């Protein structure tokens, strides 16, 4: 079973299976792993407008780095970083804005400020109340699988991810989130072994059993470094290869830093895989 149907969010109707949608990453954390974190409002607005001009369908705003060894930020600090950005962006852009956070207070204020999608990197496992916000506001929610707390590598990673995402979907539905508003993410880069990241990309199509749209975020991740031995700002080709293969394996949304280049990769991949030229 593959994702089908559509989802209306802000001014965009997402028609699953027709084409690949592109989520542009806007990091407002100074310690982003890829070195793209920005805190200047003018620069953020300029980046957002450029991403939309380049073809982004969603803007994903996050204020806490999740790189390996990251230092968690307080709720107050994340609010200080994220909420003013969303307040400024919301009236200026026509595409949906996603808030990338695992904190209930941040997500709640972000939705009030104009965010239209919730992106939860722990798939409701650390803060199940976020599902209540999604249900109350009627907004889509991305449920990402995070294996950072796993105890063993001696398991089938795709079985782990599929099982965990199924549990997250059930948590969301129990809180009243309609199935049509749920998107899943296998969590590339949140897995302890970089070789497992490669496995997940190669077997991404196995997540189709869950019947939900797949968000795929390989952009500049460390598995590219391990294969090509390149710094984060030189991983565009590695990202492009992963994006193309991910689309061939069923990705519906790609989450990327380099929007212009990855929009072109997605359009070419869609022309090949979906007969969508």
Residue in 125, 221, 235, 249 annotated catalytic: 221
**Any catalytic annotation for residue 195?**
no
How many other C-beta atoms are found inside a 10 Å radius of the C-beta of residue 170? 11
Cα–Cα distance measured from residue 11 to residue 15, given in angstroms and rounded to the nearest whole number:
13
Find, among 235, 227, 200, the residue nearest to 216 by Cα: 200
- Torsional sign, CA 239, 242, 245, 251: negative
Cα–Cα distance measured from residue 188 to residue 157, given in angstroms and rounded to the nearest whole number:
12
- Torsional sign, CA 261, 10, 37, 75: negative
Domain for residue 122, yes or no? yes
**Any catalytic annotation for residue 203?**
no
Q: Which residues of the chain have pLDDT under 50?
A: 1, 33-35
Contact 141, 117 (CB under 8 A): yes
In this prediction, residue 276 carries a pLDDT of 78
Domain for residue 25, yes or no? yes
Domain count, the chain: 1
Cα–Cα distance measured from residue 14 to residue 28, given in angstroms and rounded to the nearest whole number:
26
Domain for residue 231, yes or no? yes
Q: Find the CATH number of the domain harbouring 249.
A: 3.20.20.20
Domain for residue 181, yes or no? yes
Q: Is the pTM of this model over 0.85?
A: yes
Contact 103, 75 (CB under 8 A): yes
Find, among 260, 259, 265, 263, the residue nearest to 242 by Cα: 265
Residue in 255, 260, 264, 267 annotated catalytic: 255
CA atoms within 13 A on the CB side of 157: 24
Domain for residue 275, yes or no? no
Strands (E), 10-93: 12-15, 21-27, 58-62
**What kind and span of H or E run contains 266?**
helix 259-273
Range of the domain at 195: 6-270
Cα–Cα distance measured from residue 118 to residue 110, given in angstroms and rounded to the nearest whole number:
9
Dump pLDDT digits (tens) for 84-142: 999 999 999 999 999 999 999 999 999 999 999 999 999 999 999 999 999 999 999 99
Domain for residue 277, yes or no? no
Q: Which two tokens stand for residue 86?
A: 């969303």
Domain for residue 276, yes or no? no
Domain for residue 80, yes or no? yes
């Amino acid at each position: 079973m593959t994702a089908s149907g559509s989802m209306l969010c802000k001014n965009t109707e997402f028609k699953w299976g027709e084409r690949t949608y592109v989520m542009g990453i806007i990091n407002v954390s100074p310690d982003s792993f890829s070195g793209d974190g920005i805190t200047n409002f003018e620069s953020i607005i300029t980046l957002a407008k450029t991403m939309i001009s380049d073809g982004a369908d969603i803007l994903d705003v996050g204020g806490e780095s999740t790189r390996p060894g990251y230092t968690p930020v307080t709720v107050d600090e994340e609010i200080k970083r994220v909420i003013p950005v969303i307040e400024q962006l919301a009236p200026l852009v026509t595409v949906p804005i996603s808030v990338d956070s695992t904190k209930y207070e941040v997500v709640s204020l972000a939705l009030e400020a104009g965010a239209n999608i919730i992106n939860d990197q722990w798939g409701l496992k650390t803060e199940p109340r976020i599902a209540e916000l999604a249900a109350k506001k009627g907004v889509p929610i991305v449920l990402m699988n995070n294996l950072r707390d796993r105890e063993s590598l001696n398991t089938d990673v795709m079985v782990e991810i599929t099982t965990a995402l199924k549990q997250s979907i059930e948590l969301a539905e129990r809180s009243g989130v309609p199935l049509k508003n749920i998107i899943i993410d296998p969590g590339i880069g949140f897995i302890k072994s970089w070789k497992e990241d490669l496995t997940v990309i190669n077997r991404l199509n196995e997540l189709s059993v869950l019947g939900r749209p797949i968000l795929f975020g390989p952009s500049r991740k460390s598995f590219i470094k391990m294969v090509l031995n390149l710094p984060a700002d030189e991983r565009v080709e590695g990202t492009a290869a992963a994006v193309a293969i991910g689309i061939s394996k069923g990705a519906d949304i790609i989450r990327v830093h380099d929007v212009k280049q990855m929009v072109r990769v997605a359009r070419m991949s869609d022309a090949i895989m979906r007969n969508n030229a």
